Amino acid sequence: MIYFNKVQKVFILITCILLLLNFLFPPWKSSIKIYGQNISKSIGYKFILSPPKGVGLSIDLTLLLLQTLIILLASLIIYVALGLFSRNNTDLIKDNSSIITDKNLSPVINQKAKISDKELKKEIHEINYFLGIKWLKFWNYISLPIGSYFTIFWISKVPDYAEILGALSALQFILIYGLHYRYLWAWKWNWFIIITNLFLFSTGQTEEIIFRFLIGTIFWLVPNYIYWKKRKILFLK
Average pLDDT, the chain: 75
Q: With cut-offs at 50, 70 and 90, classify the pLDDT of residue 23.
A: confident
**57-107 pLDDT, tens digit each:** 888 888 888 888 877 877 777 666 655 545 444 444 444 444 444 444 344
Q: What is the pTM of this model?
A: 0.55
Per the document, the length of the chain is 237
236: pLDDT strictly greater than 80: no
pLDDT value, residue 18: 82
User: What is the helix (H) or strand (E) element at residue 106, kind and residue range?
Assistant: strand 106-109
**166-218 pLDDT, tens digit each:** 888 899 999 999 999 889 999 999 999 999 988 888 776 656 777 788 888 88
Mode of pairing for the β-strands spanning 27-34 and 57-59: antiparallel
67 neighbors 214 (Cβ within 8 angstroms): yes
**Ramachandran bin of 35, using left for φ above 0, alpha for ψ from -120 to 50, beta for the remaining angles:** left
| Mean pLDDT in residue range 143-153 | 86
The stretches of the chain forming alpha helices (DSSP H) are: 6-24, 61-95, 117-131, 134-138, 144-157, 162-180, 184-202, 206-216, 222-230
